[in-house]
Amino acid sequence: MDSTKLEAMLSAGKDSALLRYGLGQAYVQEGKPQEALAHLARAVDLDAGYSAAWKLYGKTLAETGHTEEAMQAYQAGIGAAERKGDIQAAKEMRVFLRRLEKTM
């Protein structure tokens, strides 16, 4: 779904972690990572256990040059994924985190 339809849903008062994640994902796909960041941040604020949102948030932060914040997002996401038993997401975020640590 494109960001325009999702923004309309948000404007209609249908705010949720899933909607914010969808908006973030849509903006990333549209090549607008700066717009995605605010929605992804809100997604994890609304649901701190949303490991997929943490993963995309970390990735988008890293791609926009926010390395420290990306590392923090991955660390939070790893914790969230482990608490949910989402082993694959935790493993992926550990790999991404290690890559960022090597650049520091």
pLDDT in tens, 18-65: 999 999 999 999 999 999 999 999 999 999 999 999 999 999 999 999
Alpha-carbon gap, residue 28 to 20, rounded angstroms: 12
Q: What is the pTM of this model?
A: 0.94
Cβ atoms of residues 58 and 70 within 8 Å: yes
| Domains, the chain | 3-103 (1.25.40.10)
C-alpha distance from residue 92 to each of 31, 57, 95 (Å): 23, 13, 5
